[in-house]
Chains A and B, each alone.
Chain A
Amino acid sequence: MKKSLTKIAFAICFTMAGLSSLAQAADTRIFTDDLGREVKIPSHANRIASLHDGMLTLPLIELGVIPAGSAGRISKTSPPFIRGSKGLTGYDFDNSDIQFLGKYPVDLEKIVALKPDLIISTTTYEDILDKLTAIAPTIIIDNVKNSREQMFATLADITNTQKTLDVLNIRYAQQIKDINAVIDTKNISVNVMQASGGKLYVWHSYFSLGKVLRDAGFTFPKLVDEIAVGERRELSAEKLQDLDADYIFVTYRTDRAQAPQDAVAEFEKVIPNFCDYLKACRENRMLMMPREAASSTSFTALGLSAFTVLTHISGNPYAAKITQ
């Protein structure tokens, strides 16, 4: 009798285990990541570890997926933070359940303690992929090869949030339409610049702001158009006037408690009285923007950039003069 009961108990255990693994198999799917690896991932991951704050965590939050843990930044003046997130999504480590997994490099022990069911990383951590996969299924997204739209699309695919992404895309498309409705973008040149360490920095497209400006159809200085898509150039101060445009956007870092004056001071170090030699600055068409809003991988950032462009260029007498 006792033996029979034991056999029945074992049979029940095996059946339960079998059913559980069947259910698990049904609740997983194969995803091919940017390294070409076929990874079995949960269909509905509940505990995602995001290993890049700006490129992965921010988009995930905007897609409505709050990761269980995220890489972040540290500063001597503040607790760990997700760069740009509080201002763009409202979420940060100090007001949510998102666990801080360390800055670069992430803390593997913290990831283990998090017990994630999915790890999403950029190619930064390709070299420790074996360690990450030992903790949980790991997907690598190539942040260099992929545009930010592609990053969003991949994340939406992983997290089954394509519908949310569609809504965000529709909203963004409308914001671009709103710009095109009132501004003759093809006849207005723009540029986004930064100055640091005595050099000038320009991008083919400066992240969110650059995407808005390109998508809206503004023109750029020749030197900027010559930069490869996705690339940045450090230029000599001597090229300042070649970077002039009808409108110049300059960003300053709010995460370092910078003010617009700090960004201007950097330009002064490059060329004393630089404003006298840039038409856009002389004629008060150099616009200052917080860098997080201009550079984050975020639809909110795109919206803020679009709104800044719309409100500062439309209705400006100079814009009217250009469009005449």
Chain B
Amino acid sequence: MSQTATNRPPTAKIPSVQDKWRLLTLGIPLMFAACLLMFIIHISVGAKSLDYQTIIKAFIDFDVKNFDHIIILKVRLPRAIIAIAVGASLAVAGAIMQGVTRNPLASPSILGLMSGASFAIVVALGVFGIFSPYLTPWIAAFGALCAAILVLVIASLAPGSTTPLNLTLAGVAVSAFLGAIISLLNLMDEDNFDQLRVWLTGSLAGKDLNIFYIISPWLIISMLMAVILSRKITILGMGEDVAKGLGVKPTGLKIQLMAVVIILTACSVAMAGPMGFIGLVVPHMVRLFIGADYRWVTPYSALLGATYLLAVDIIARLVIAPQEISTGIITALIGGPLFIYLIKSRGR
């Protein structure tokens, strides 16, 4: 111990709080630039090679008769925008869940919210034939809310009540149960469920911006809520007693945050189906570099989530071009090993 202190170079300087704030503040525009760069790459590459002049012309002098312009503005652009929205939503939802439950394994997919939202949409569409871009987000939100309540009830009935482990186990059980019912519904009416098969893998193909326009007000409100409440999430992370001591009402805060998480999850599922691992991996990556201050974790998660899903979708579109792989399959393929790597990195 003393040896370490002795060996420390006299010029070594522990970064001050101000330095850290300066670095983190500088990091936001850098992350934004990375996201913008990925966005530009996303709309520049695809199954059909297009030169930069065509891409620029599509934006400044759009010709509806030019198929290349249609590819840019009607295929790639909506897809990129939805990738940004879904990536940011799921990453922020995951970060909040991990903060509120103080459970590093918490995410919309692990705690059953995504399964709940997917299940509600599958039942609405496959059983009742309801498909409306106006109703879908609400149906998804209702499903996510029911799943969240179910997980909380199951976890609270277990010894130790809502411990991180109980919540995780309850979430896994609810996800498995709802997944089994989806499979059963599929078996009972295979032909009609055929159309949901691709959606259930999490896909960004063939999306137009209509659903995004419908959902965006809710996304913006819930993102703003997440940013506003982020300071309190950090305090909540110190324990409920500390939070109470600092004037934070844990129950009320948890309800507000759960509403934000449900809206973010429902919006992303309504736009692209269930996309696993984003809500789990991205907040982990962010905390690895940023720490546990949610004033930074929230915006960084949003930017990294958006950048990550844009990058993953580029891979999904290019890896076997001109064929495509569902983006959700690639998020799982990359997310699984990446999560294991992150866990190992934290352990070192």
Per-position 1/0 for A234-245, Cβ under 8 A of B: 111111111000
Additional pairs, 8, CB under 8 Å, beyond known A236-B323, A237-B75, A238-B46: A75-B189, A104-B190, A197-B199, A233-B323, A235-B324, A238-B47, A269-B206, A272-B70
List 17 A–B pairs whose Cβ atoms lie within 8 Å, in order of A's numbering.
A73-B190, A74-B189, A75-B189, A196-B195, A197-B205, A198-B206, A199-B206, A233-B322, A236-B48, A236-B205, A236-B323, A237-B71, A238-B48, A269-B208, A271-B75, A272-B74, A273-B64
Using Cβ atoms and an 8 Å threshold, which residues of chain A touch B47? 235-236, 238-239
- Chain B 53-97 interface mask (CB, 8 Å, partner A; 1/0): 000000000001101001100110000000000000000000000
Q: Is residue B203 contacting chain A, with contact meaning CB distance below 8 A?
A: yes
CB nearest to B48 among chain A residues: A238
Q: Are A240 and B206 in contact (CB under 8 A)?
A: no
Total interface residues on A, CB under 8 Å, equals 31
Shortest distance between the CB of B323 and any CB in chain A (Å): 6
Asked if A35 lies at the interface with its beta carbon under 8 angstroms from chain B, I say: no
- Report which B residues bind A (CB closer than 8 A): 46-48, 64-65, 67, 70-71, 74-75, 127, 187-192, 195, 197-199, 203, 205-208, 317, 321-324
**Do the beta carbons of B192 and A75 come within 8 Å of each other?**
yes
- On A, residues with C-beta under 8 Å from B are 73-76, 103-104, 196-199, 223, 233-242, 253, 255-256, 269-273, 276-277
Give the Cβ gap from A137 to chain B, nearest Cβ, in Å: 29
**With known contacts A235-B322, A236-B321, A238-B71, A198–B205 Cβ distance under 8 A:** yes
In the complex formed, the residue of B with least CB distance to A73 is B191
Looking across the interface, which residue of chain A has its beta carbon closest to that of B321? A236
What 9 pairs between A and B have smallest CB-CB spacing? Answer: A198-B206, A198-B205, A236-B47, A197-B198, A238-B48, A238-B47, A277-B67, A76-B189, A239-B322
Shortest distance in angstroms between B145's beta carbon and chain A's nearest beta carbon?
Answer: 27
Per DSSP, chain A at the interface is mixed
Contacts of B75 in A (CB 8 A): 237-238, 271
Q: Flag if B192 contacts A256 (CB, 8 Å).
A: yes
* Contact present for A236 and B324 (CB under 8 Å): yes
Given the known A-B contacts A76-B188, A277-B70, are A196 and B198 also in contact in the complex, defined by CB atoms under 8 Å? yes
Asked if residues A240 and B46 are in contact (CB atoms below 8 Å), the reply is no
How many angstroms from the CA of A196 to the CA of B198 in the assembled complex? 9
- Give the Cβ gap from B73 to chain A, nearest Cβ, in Å: 10
C-alpha spacing A237/B70, complex, angstroms: 10
Q: Given A197-B199, A276-B65, A277-B67 in contact, is the A238-B322 Cβ separation under 8 Å?
A: yes
Output the residue of A239, A241, A269, A276 with the most chain B CB within 10 A.
A239
| Cα separation A237 to B187 with both chains bound (whole Å) | 30
Of all chain A residues, the one with the shortest Cβ separation from B207 is: A198
Among A74, A235, A237, A277, which residue has its beta carbon within 8 angstroms of that of B188? Answer: A74
Task: Give, as a whole number of angstroms, the nearest-CB distance from A153 to chain B.
Answer: 29
B205 engages A237 (CB within 8 Å): yes
**Cα distance A242–B49 in the bound complex, in angstroms:** 13
Q: How far is the CA of A276 from the CA of B191 in the complex (A)?
A: 31
Which residues of chain A are within 8 angstroms of B322 by Cβ–Cβ distance? 223, 233, 235-236, 238-239, 242
Picked from B188, B208, B317, the residue with its CB within 8 Å of the CB of A236 is B317
In the complex, the answer to whether A197 meets B203 with C-beta atoms within 8 Å is yes
For A233, give the chain B residue with the smallest CB separation.
B323
Interchain CA distance A199-B75 in the complex, whole Å: 11
CB neighbours of A276 from chain B (8 A): 64-65
Report chain B residues within 8 Å CB of A271: 70, 74-75
* Cβ–Cβ < 8 Å partners of B206 in chain A: 197-199, 237, 269-270
B138 CB to nearest chain A CB (Å): 22
